[in-house]
Structure 1
């Protein structure tokens, strides 16, 4: 484990962990939180009925985001080197950027479903992706 010096991966990891914890908070916040954070009325209604599906999906997303945060911290040298670090950071950056750009085809092909959620979540993911991409680029020689 080296001295953490990649500020972009440190920021990216922190953002991923915050996003993960936000998803856990949504579970505890209940249906109103599912609505506020744009999960959709269907998910909110399932949460109101006490169905397990919204919790499981949200926990799965939180787990993935938490893992992504750990990979960013690993790439920054904050924690031990995780397996497949270079391809994982490349994949994480790619998924964030692609999700961030998803609003473009949605806007062009299905403007009827465009919502503030799609715009804001896309901008957030694009920002996370660009930060992870910059950090991965900087860390690449040492990965």
Structure 2
């Protein structure tokens, strides 16, 4: 009977540890899924390229790019989608149960930093202009949210691992 109680207690500790780790990794996974969605939208947008560029307010820049070579807007969109795909994979594969990505810890924080920098930079720029772009301000908040998912998720993940090492 005492043996069964120890087994139940051990299972309970493992389950509690899983809940703590799982909830903390949720932030990185959510950031990963959002990046995969953004990558997918970029690739789907290739079908309706002109309309998508108008929607996002980058028609002028893409027209200038297409004057250099007609395929450049497509190639740039594919490269951007690949970057979002890699960001997404890092967020999803931060779990130690899956294949480990190279330089996982610094890249997670780098991704978070890129998003925070993009969000704050655009937000500051838009608020200093006399004519604000609501769309750009919204994108800034989305970037800040994704950056916080990566940064906070990364801090929580490696804090948990540090506690596990000291307890071992």
TM-score above 0.5, yes or no? yes
Higher gyration radius (CA): 2
Q: Which structure 1 segments of 5+ residues have no match?
A: none
Match of 1:57 in 2: 76
Three-state SS of the structure 2 residue aligned to 1:38 is: coil
> Residues of 2 paired with 1:84 and 1:112: CA distance?
42
The number of residue pairs the alignment matches comes to: 140
Match of 1:126 in 2: 144
From 3, 11, 15, the equivalent of 2:30 is 11
Post-superposition offset of 1:83: 0.6
Three-state SS of the structure 2 residue aligned to 1:51 is: coil
What stretches of structure 1 move > 6 A for 4+ residues in a row? none
TM-score by length of 2: 0.72
Three-state SS of the structure 2 residue aligned to 1:42 is: helix
Match of 2:102 in 1: 83
Post-superposition offset of 1:105: 3.1
Greater shift, 89-98 or 129-138, is seen at 129-138
TM-score by length of 1: 0.83
Provide the alpha-carbon RMSD of the alignment: 2.7
Three-state SS of the structure 1 residue aligned to 2:99 is: coil
* Contact in 2 for aligned 1:34/1:44 (Cα 8 Å): no
